[in-house]
Amino acid sequence: MRITMRNFSLLLLAVGLSASSFATDTIMTAKPAVPPTLHKQTICPVMGKAIDSTVYTDIQGQRVYFCCAGCEKKLKADPDKYFKQAAAEGVLFQNIQKTCPISGETLEDRTVFSDYEGRRVYFCCGKCKDKFAANPQEYLKKMDIPVKDEKAATEMHGEEGHH
């Protein structure tokens, strides 16, 4: 078998392109995305202006400050949009939770938590954290429903024990 100069050149070109493609793939997948450093809220999530600490709303266990009263309606109309945007910017809103969103128990210590799309959510235990991770939207919505009595809390959080 005789290798001509043309065939040899084509072989080198093919090997070179394959190696180049492999190297590019390796470089692109080697760098994991670095999450932004978390910081307290200083700007309005709706208008992007400095916050006024007297203008806020409590939603999904978080206290969200605004630049003016007109921004609250926009946030409440589509909270996920603004929470996701804040998470991408590394904003950590002030958490105002008093109880675990799963069990309804009073939060004694705040060592078990999850950062979910701009919200820091605290739990009474790891089992509740895992349950939240399986369906976060269900529990975020329930966090805005005021619990008036023990019967309502049982209906909201379920009767099963978690400890």
Q: Where are the domains of the chain?
A: 39-157
Task: Give the separation between CA 9 and CA 15, rounded to whole angstroms.
Answer: 10
Secondary structure of residue 151 in the 3-state scheme: helix
pLDDT digits (tens, 9 = 90+) for 27-38: 445 555 666 688
* Half-sphere CA count of 155, side-chain side, radius 13 A: 8
Low-confidence winner among 4-8, 55-59, 119-123, 141-145 (lowest mean pLDDT): 4-8
State CA 46 to chain mean position distance.
18
What was the pLDDT predicted at 37? 84
**CB within 8 Å of 91: residues ≥ 6 apart:** 38, 39, 40, 41, 45, 118
Strand-pair partners of 115 = 120
pLDDT digits (tens, 9 = 90+) for 43-83: 999 999 999 999 999 999 999 999 999 999 999 999 999 99
- The pTM for the full model equals 0.67
Number of residues that make up the chain: 163
What was the pLDDT predicted at 150? 42
* pLDDT range class, residue 146, cuts 50, 70, 90: low
Strand-pair partners of 94 = 63
What is the average per-residue pLDDT within 116-127? 94
